[in-house]
Amino acid sequence: MQETLKNLTATAREEIAAAADEQQIEALRVKYLGKKGELTALLKGMGALSPEERPKMGQLVNEAKSEIDGLIGEKSAELKSAAQNKRLLEETVDITMPAKRSAVGGLHPLNKVLDDMIDLFQSMGFDVVDGPEAETDYYCFEALNVPKDHPARDMQDTFYLGENLVLRTQTSAAQIRVMEKREPPIRIICPGRVYRADEVDATHSPVFHQVEGLVVDKGITLCDLKGCLEQFAQEIYGPETQVRFRPSFFPFTEPSVEVDVTCSECGGKGCRVCKGTGWIEILGAGMVHPNVLRAGGIDPDVYSGFAFGIGLDRLTTTRYKISDIRLLFENDLRFLDQFAGK
């Protein structure tokens, strides 16, 4: 039996050394070490030996087994790295070959303008906050000094979701939510979608975008509002841009203003875009009404503030000279592709 084992080990050594690939090695592993392999057969045959011989023989078989196992492991690692080296040599990369072009997506023009605005306002110390689009009547109107039956409600045709739940008609709804949660000094912008029951045409859409701004601190005046908006307009439209305040009315600000910038198309001379006036209206703003500060839990005798609501869609259409607001909402790739990478 010892003789058989010796021969078997010797053949195994030769065969393993001669194996040319992984498959052959695997076959050898089965042949010698597998359940029905030759060594296992030898172990099984040990029953025929005398009790004195058995332990010795067992030890020899085990030694042979671990030798063969070790040889197979070594050979297999050797074959693997040889195969890899061969592949590396064969697969040289031609770095002068032109690359395949893959299509790259781009940001929606609204997002580009919004990103610029966020950068700008963050650099002035504003935080960006979010608010719900389905908003309660309280935050959208009541707390903003627009009680039920107030004629100002007609200014904004509201989509009602329930008796006290609306699709927010203005991001101003965020003002009160912020004041409830934060102590002055407050400096936030709240960008988002707003909804009004408007007929769709080239300049109107039932869903559009606003960016609300709110600043509350001690000693805030209309001058601060003007300075802030001037900086904003010059950043977005260019350094020569001028800003003009026109008196207006919003229930939640007093005084209220509408803000125009010099037309970026003609520089203020008058053209088709600005309908010959030289000015383009971009936002509504004003000093936060004392009732609104109170509703937000802030003492109007100690603090004052300003707020503004910028129409993001108008800003985007004028910046990119887009003639129809509907293009912003249709997601036609032929339109959107023009902005990729710009």
User: Which parts of this chain interact with ligand PHE (CB under 6 A)?
Assistant: 170, 172, 250, 253, 284-286, 307-309
CB of 307 vs ligand PHE, minimal distance in Å = 4
Q: CA 227 to CA 239: how far, in whole Å?
A: 14
**At its nearest, how many Å lie between ligand PHE and the CB of residue 230?**
17
Nearer to ligand PHE, 37 or 255 (CB): 255
Instruction: Kindly tell me which of 29 and 226 has the beta carbon lying closer to ligand PHE.
Output: 226
CB of residue 95 to ligand PHE, shortest distance in Å: 56
Min separation Cβ 97 and ligand PHE, Å: 56
Residue 284 CB, shortest distance to ligand PHE, in Å, is 3
User: What is the rounded distance in angstroms from the CA atom of residue 102 to the CA atom of residue 92?
Assistant: 23
Instruction: Find the shortest distance in angstroms from Cβ 313 to ligand PHE.
Output: 12
Closer to ligand PHE by CB, 57 or 285: give it. 285
| DSSP character string of 259-299 | EEEE-TTTTTS--TTTTTSSEEEEEEEEEEPHHHHHHTT--
Residue with tokens 């058995």: 54
Which residue lies nearer to ligand PHE by CB, 249 or 339? Answer: 249
CB nearer to ligand PHE: give 116 or 258. 258
Q: Would you say 182 or 196 has its CB closer to ligand PHE? A: 196
d(Cα 337, Cα 342) in Å, to the nearest integer? 10
Shortest distance, position 190 Cβ to ligand PHE, whole Å: 10
Q: Indicate the residue among 24 and 248 with the shorter CB distance to ligand PHE.
A: 248
Largest CA distance in the chain: 117
CA distances from 130 to 159, 168, 211, 311 (A): 20, 13, 10, 16
Closest residue to ligand PHE in the complex (CB) = 309
Cα separation, 27 vs 18, in Å, equals 13
- Let me know: does 186 contact 178? Beta carbons within 8 Å: yes
Is the Cβ–Cβ distance between 99 and 40 less than 8 Å?
A: no
H/E stretch holding 114 reads: helix 109-123
CA distance 230 to 244: 9
Q: Which residue has the tokens 């990478």?
A: 341
Chain centroid offset of residue 64 CA: 62
